[in-house]
Amino acid sequence: MSQNDTFIMVCAHKPGAFLSHPPYVPIHAGKAIASVEIPGTIGDDTGDHISARNPWYCELTAQYWAWKNLPKSVKYVGLCHYRRYFDFKRRHLAWEEQTGASTFFSSEHPLPDLDRLFRRYDMVMAKPSILSQTLIRGCYWMDEAAFMDTRTVIADKYPDYVKDFERMVLRGNRFWGRNMFVMPRAQFDAYCEWSFGLYFEIERRFESSGREMSLRLPAFLGEYLLAVWARVNGLRVCYRPIRLISESDPAPVGKIKRMTKRYVIPPLKELLFRLRQAQLLPQPRPGIGSKIMRYLGGA
């Protein structure tokens, strides 16, 4: 692997500190409608782009730009966020942990050898968060109608994906979040062809029915659809936790609490989910799951 054949987007919508050494490339998502410049970034508003749709597509406008405009010499493509990066150093069950900006940006963050990694795997994805209830019940940022509308479009346009969408998204308890990945160029192109075909069809149906599509809807859907696409296509996924960058280092946490968050809470939430599915425990009150998830930091 060389730095020149790998392109990992660092999506940003406001000025700040980013990883910017190759292969990390800061991208100004939604630059076409932005009111401020972000120094040191590439805009997603050149060539074939959907930059002006950023209020609905968020980081996906940068993903679309990369799909349509990166040179064919790029061998591996990735996406992360100005505050979130893959953690290739640690292995634990928690999906996201915080690090202060000064600590993070003063450290080295080398990538693994991607040539070697992709001989064993087909893509890198963010480790999912385990919920103690179904995704629909615990997902406080989308209503159930949006999920069902998406299922209808998938059934019409990509019927081979319906079964896994129902199992993983409508009945599952994994939160596949952040729209983060690293994958070979061929996989990236195939995923973009499939996913943007779906987003644009959803958008078209909203327009034809006279309804207004909710802000960020395609971006939210992308967080779940990447996992569905990987499952249907039988891809071997390397799951990695996420390092969340905060303004300062979080308060020190005792070893017992840290180990509990990493290794005890995720399987406990899985157990609660299975007991509820078997009707051995009542479902939580509406909204309680999201409060628990926020309190636990997505553990």
Q: Do the beta carbons of residue 81 and residue 62 sit within 8 Å? A: no
Please give the single-letter amino acid code of residue 266: P
Residue 287 has pLDDT above 70, yes or no: no
CA–CA separation, 29 vs 52, rounded Å?
9
- Beta-strand pair 42-43/6-12: unpaired
Query: Over the stretch 74-100, which tens digit does the pLDDT of each residue have?
Result: 999 999 999 999 999 876 556 788 899
Q: Could you tell me the residue range of the domain that residue 188 belongs to?
A: 3-295
Q: Domain count of the chain?
A: 1
Q: Which among 81, 87, 111 has a CA at the least distance from the CA of 99? A: 87
Query: Over the stretch 28-87, which tens digit does the pLDDT of each residue have?
Result: 999 999 999 999 999 999 999 999 999 999 999 999 999 999 999 999 999 999 999 999
Give the C-alpha distances (Å, rounded to integers) separating 245 from 141, 183, 249, 272: 22, 23, 9, 30
Q: Which among 293, 125, 165, 149 has a CA at the least distance from the CA of 217? A: 149
Residue 95's contacts (CB-CB under 8 Å, 6 or more residues apart) are 126, 127, 128, 129, 177, 241, 242, 298, 299
Query: Over the stretch 168-204, which tens digit does the pLDDT of each residue have?
Result: 999 888 888 889 999 999 999 999 999 999 999 999 9
- Prediction pTM value: 0.86
φ/ψ region of 210 (left if φ > 0, alpha if ψ in -120 to 50, else beta) reads left
CA–CA separation, 82 vs 157, rounded Å?
34
Query: Over the stretch 129-174, which tens digit does the pLDDT of each residue have?
Result: 888 778 777 666 677 888 899 999 999 999 999 999 999 999 888 8
Q: Which helix or strand (DSSP H or E) is residue 231 part of? A: helix 217-232
